[in-house]
Amino acid sequence: MLQEIVIRTENADALKPLVRAAMDREAKLLEHSVERTRAALEAFEKRYNMTTEEFERKFKAREIEETLDILDWWMEVEAMHHLENQLQSMREAQVE
């Protein structure tokens, strides 16, 4: 569902490029965070010889013992979902 955010200003022509530039910078920061989180997930995958998708399924089904390392992996999975959602929202946003 398309939603709208309203920003009121006396000089929209000057503000629009600033908003777009800020959004572009934020998208780059999010991309960098996604890359770092992917690297962390890959390290867990190698350590446990399991894909993150398989881990997520097993963790949700409580088939994996909850150790500190496993909880760290889960936090990285949750962080990845959050970052991907934010990045998608930023990429889809239009400044008119």
What secondary structure, in 3-state letters, does 1-19 show?
Answer: CCCCCCCCCCCHHHHHHHH
Is residue 1 predicted with pLDDT exceeding 90? no
The arithmetic mean of pLDDT across residues 52-79, rounded, is: 97
pTM for this model (two decimals)? 0.84
CB-based contact 20:95 (threshold 8 Å): yes
Helix, strand or coil for residue 54? helix
Residue 66 CB neighbours (<10 A)? 10
Structure-token match 């990845």, residue found: 80
Give me 57's structure tokens.
């399924």
Residue 93 CB neighbours (<10 A)? 13
pLDDT for 23-64, tens place per residue?
999 999 999 999 999 999 999 999 999 999 999 999 999 999
